[in-house]
A and B are shown apart, each in its own frame.
Chain A
Amino acid sequence: MSLIIETIDLESTERLQVEKFLSEFNLSLDKDVEQTIVAKIDGNIIGTCSCGGKVVKSFAVKKELQGEGIAAKLISRITNIMFDKGIFHTFIFTKPVNKHIFSELGYHEIFSTKDVTLLESSSDNIRRYIKTIKSQTSFGREDKAAIVMNCNPFTLGHRYLIERAACENETVIVFIVQEDKSSFPFDVRYKLVKEGIKDLNNVHVVSGGDYIISSNTFPSYFIKEEEHKDRAYKQLDAGIFGEYIATAFNIKRRYLGTEPYCSVTYGYNKVLAEILPGYGVEVKIIDRVTVDSKEVSASSVRKYIKEDNWKEIKKLVPETTYSFLLSSEARKIIDKIKGSELRH
């Protein structure tokens, strides 16, 4: 019996073999998978795993062969592949029944729902993220409100929601989605929020890091996924927020805007409202602000950018965002929006 580990060409018919193997475990290849490897004995697939971004996923080993060290071989190889792409801190997304396999390989569980588990390769990374944020800000142990936003770009709608939270709470933390999968890069989105809320003294703007609406916790926010997967990711993201973020920062409320356009965000709001109260976090859903009786949204701003309709853009964004859009720095982003069909 000779065991070999090899990389699969996802464009070839080999992909179908992997899909067939995974289907025996009720698994499939996620849409954001970049590379897939398999373990084979005598030409037959007996195990597989894939990577997408920082996450190892779609992992399975034939039942009769579990405990033979095949997982260790697969994970070593995929870790090498990711290392060569510059990814040193990795995550594993799998079923809760596989948890023990990865703890034995040195992975640490971050969070599990009934259906899925997320682990990471280093023991204290989520805590390190929390520590970093704490060191960058100056709030104490008081009760806080939180808002998580992509702000692609920052609109009057975002501003309204933040203002509302700032009025009703002593301290507000605004987490900006860090993942660079939006038309506006993170640096710009972050900067426009900071500038746009300068006058609100009790609001802190911070990065959402790897753990709040990132490709690790919630990939289906960025790439549309099948419904059951999407739901599992939403629960995972909400759970991590409740378990770690809310606890660490003493967050007692999370503010959300009503979502009339995007079904992913709409569903996410629903899951948050189900899960967060279990962690002592009240979910407040605020009606979106309207201009000319239409809800303000970043997607309509991007639509108007596409149409070069500056009169409408001006109505939807604060002065700070507007003047950025007119600056030379925005040129490249605007060109990108005009030439794409991006969801975000």
Chain B
Amino acid sequence: MVINKPARAGTLESSDIYIMVQPNQGQGIEIQLDSIVLKQFGKQIQNVMRQTLKDLEIEDIKIIANDRGALDYTIRARLETAINRAN
């Protein structure tokens, strides 16, 4: 799948994550992550995102994410939604 235009999903409310995706043609995967639990779960959140991208066969994308303590499946759902909207 290809990211054609900027899109977003999620909210900044507690236990949610706000995700913006943008095209990043030919430049690979770029993730800018802010989280209230960055120290404890930053890596885990990144892994969930990268796995989601892999499953959707996305190679070029810029993600700006602001996490408010979302669970893995929330992160996955928000990212998938943003990507669908970017199509």
A residues 211-239 near B (Cβ < 8 Å) are none
CA distance A86 to B6 in the complex (A): 8
Chain B proximity of A289: nearest CB distance (Å): 46
Neighbouring B residues of A73 by C-beta, 8 Å = 11, 13
Cβ–Cβ < 8 Å partners of A105 in chain B: 12, 66, 68
- 0/1 per residue, B57-71, Cβ < 8 Å to A? 000000010111000
Q: Which residues of A contact B36 (CB under 8 A)?
A: 104, 106
Residues B20 and A76 in contact, CB atoms below 8 Å apart: no
User: A76 and B34 in contact (CB under 8 A), knowing A83-B6, A88-B20?
Assistant: no
Given the contacts A88-B22, A106-B66, A72 and B35 also touching, CB distance less than 8 Å: no
A106 touches B68 (CB 8 A): yes
Decide yes or no whether A75 CB sits under 8 A from chain B: yes
- Contact A72/B66 with A79-B18, A86-B6, A88-B6 known, Cβ cut-off 8 Å: no
A69 touches B66 (CB 8 A): no
Please give me the residue from chain A that is nearest to B32 by CB atom: A122
Q: Are A72 and B20 neighbours in the complex by a CB distance under 8 Å? A: no
Report if B8 contacts A (CB, 8 A). yes
Which of B6, B18, B36, B67 counts the most A-chain CB atoms under 10 A from its CB? B18
Number of B positions contacting A (CB below 8 A): 17
Kindly identify, within residues 117 to 165 of chain A, every residue whose CB is under 8 Å from any CB belonging to chain B: 121-123
Chain A proximity of B13: nearest CB distance (Å): 5
Is the pair B20, A83 in contact by a Cβ cutoff of 8 Å?
yes
A80-B13 in contact (CB<8A):
no
CB distance from A125 to the nearest CB of B (A): 10
Residues in A with CB closer than 8 Å to B34 are 106, 122-123
**Docked complex: A27-81 residues within 8 A CB-CB of B:** 69, 72-73, 75-76, 79-80
Chief secondary structure at chain B's binding surface: strand
Decide yes or no: A121 and B66 within 8 Å by CB, A72-B11, A79-B12, A104-B36 being known contacts.
yes
A102 to chain B, nearest CB (A): 10
Smallest CB–CB gap between A3 and chain B, Å? 12
Q: Is there an interface contact between A69 and B6, defined as CB atoms closer than 8 Å?
A: no
Q: Specify which of A69, A86, A88, A104 is in contact with B64 (CB 8 Å cutoff).
A: A88
Within 8 A of B (CB), among A63-115: 69, 72-73, 75-76, 79-80, 83, 86, 88, 104-106
Bound Cα distance from A105 to B36, whole angstroms? 8
B14 interfacial contact with A, CB 8 Å: yes
Q: How far is the CB of A127 from chain B (nearest CB, A)?
A: 13
Question: When the two chains form their complex, are residues B64 and A72 in contact, meaning their CB atoms are under 8 A apart?
Answer: no
Closest CB in chain A relative to B38 CB, distance in Å: 10
Separation in Å of the B24 CB from the closest CB of chain A?
13
Using Cβ atoms and an 8 Å threshold, which residues of chain A touch B22? 88
How far is the CB of B10 from the nearest CB of chain A, in Å? 8
Contact for A83 among B8, B11, B35, CB less than 8 A:
B8
Please state if A72 and B8 are interface contacts (CB–CB under 8 Å).
no
The answer on a CB contact under 8 Å between B64 and A76 is no
- Provide a sorted-by-A list of 12 A–B residue pairs whose CB atoms are within 8 angstroms: A72-B14, A72-B68, A73-B11, A76-B11, A79-B12, A79-B18, A86-B6, A88-B22, A88-B64, A104-B36, A106-B68, A122-B32
Give the top 6 A-B pairs by smallest Cβ distance, nearest first.
A76-B11, A106-B66, A106-B34, A72-B13, A76-B12, A72-B12
Residues of B within 8 A of A (CB): 6, 8, 11-14, 18, 20, 22, 32, 34-36, 64, 66-68
Apart from the given pairs A75-B12, A79-B12, 9 other A-B contacts in the complex at a CB distance below 8 Å = A76-B11, A76-B18, A83-B6, A83-B8, A106-B34, A106-B68, A121-B66, A122-B34, A122-B64
